[in-house]
């Protein structure tokens, strides 16, 4: 895998002119005066080795680079987090990121410098005098260019909550909700060779899985597994609420123009 030599983001003079994107559960990303230790419980602090260890850990967290990339990379990052990092109920936000015109761009591009959890120290990719570094993203929108940068390289952001309200397919939602409402919620014991390891499931949940799989099949192959997991129907889900969310999540991929138009109408927050 390599970068398309005709990718316009390889032109240093144009990097700051592009809109870049980021998805996060933080409503004020990139957070001013970010304190990663603020959410740690006393027990967690003790397990980490006490206050001294926590201070060192927090300093390393603040030294990490921020990441922005294509719209596709931001959406895939959200799906990956919901799927792999147990964030199914979290509210996500899509950010359009505007860089400062004066940013100094590192020459060329890097192979994805992130570790297995997506972290990279800013100083490792942006030495003194450099504000941003382009890299080939292996994990989200594979083959596309993303950017590692510090908070000071960002001029402003626009934000919208995703999936966007009312951005679902009304007919699909109506049909899916009717199908789910008609299915029984009575739990049925699993059958088969591995049934003793499986929880009982209702016919309604089975229908939800079928509907989710059908939506996933319409999406690019590399997004299907993550989407199906992110939009999974759970026992007790309200049919109409689930159908709207599942359709709107798919819409982020199938019809990005809706959310991009929503972003167009948002004010710029100076960073």
Residue 232 CA to residue 236 CA, distance in Å, equals: 12
Indicate the pLDDT class of residue 87, thresholds 50, 70 and 90.
Answer: low
pLDDT in tens, 217-249: 999 998 999 999 999 999 999 999 999 999 999
Instruction: Say what the pLDDT of residue 253 is.
Output: 95
- The two tokens of residue 203 are 């016919």
pLDDT in tens, 171-199: 999 999 999 999 999 988 877 777 667 77
In SS3 terms, the chain reads as CCCCCCCHHHCHHHHHHCCEEEEECCCCCCCCCCCHHHHCCHHHHHHHCCHHHHHHHHHHHHCECEEEECHHHHHHHHHHHHHHCCCCCCCEEEEEEEECCCCCECCCCEECCCCCCCCCEHHHHCCCCCCEEEEECCCCCCCCEEEEECHHHEEEEEEEEECCCCCCCHHHHHHHHHHHHHCCCCCECCCCCCHHHCCCECHHHHHHHHHHHHHHCCCCHHHHHHHHHHCCCCCCCCHHHHHHHHHHHHHHHHCHHHHHHHHHCCCCEEC
Global pTM?
Answer: 0.88
Name the more confident of 54 and 208.
208
In SS3 terms, 178-200 reads as HHHHHCCCCCECCCCCCHHHCCC
Q: Out of 18-32, 64-78, 184-198, 245-259, pick the least confident.
A: 184-198
Mean pLDDT, residues 258-262: 94
Percent of the residues in the chain that have a pLDDT greater than 90, as a whole number = 67
Instruction: Say what the pLDDT of residue 119 is.
Output: 80
Instruction: Say what the pLDDT of residue 18 is.
Output: 96
pLDDT at 122 over 70: yes
Q: Out of 45-54, 59-68, 107-116, 194-203, pick the least confident.
A: 194-203
Indicate the pLDDT class of residue 256, thresholds 50, 70 and 90.
Answer: very high
- The two tokens of residue 270 are 């100076």
């Amino acid at each position: 895998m390599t970068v398309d030599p005709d990718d316009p983001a390889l032109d240093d003079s144009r990097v700051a002119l592009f809109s870049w994107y980021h998805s996060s559960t933080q409503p004020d990303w990139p957070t001013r005066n970010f304190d990663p230790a603020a959410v740690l419980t006393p027990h967690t602090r003790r397990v980490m080795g006490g206050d001294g260890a926590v201070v060192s850990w927090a300093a390393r967290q603040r030294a990490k680079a921020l990441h922005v990339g294509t719209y596709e990379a931001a959406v895939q990052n959200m799906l990956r987090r919901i799927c792999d990092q147990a964030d199914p109920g979290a509210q996500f936000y899509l950010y359009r990121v505007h860089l400062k015109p004066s940013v100094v761009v590192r020459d060329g591009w890097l192979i994805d410098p992130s570790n297995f959890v997506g972290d990279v120290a800013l100083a490792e990719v942006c030495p003194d005098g450099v504000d941003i570094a382009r890299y080939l993203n292996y994990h989200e929108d594979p083959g596309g260019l993303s950017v590692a940068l510090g908070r000071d390289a960002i001029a402003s952001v626009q934000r919208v909550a995703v999936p966007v309200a009312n951005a679902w397919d009304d007919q699909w939602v109506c049909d899916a909700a009717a199908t789910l409402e008609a299915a029984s919620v009575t739990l049925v014991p699993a059958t088969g060779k591995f049934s003793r390891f499986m929880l009982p499931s209702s016919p309604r949940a089975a229908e939800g899985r079928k509907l989710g799989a059908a939506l996933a099949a319409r999406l690019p192959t590399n997004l299907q597994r993550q989407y199906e997991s992110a939009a999974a129907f759970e026992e007790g889900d309200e049919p109409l609420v689930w159908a709207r969310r599942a359709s709107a999540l798919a819409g982020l991929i199938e019809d990005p123009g809706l959310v991009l138009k929503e972003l167009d109408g948002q004010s710029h927050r100076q960073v």
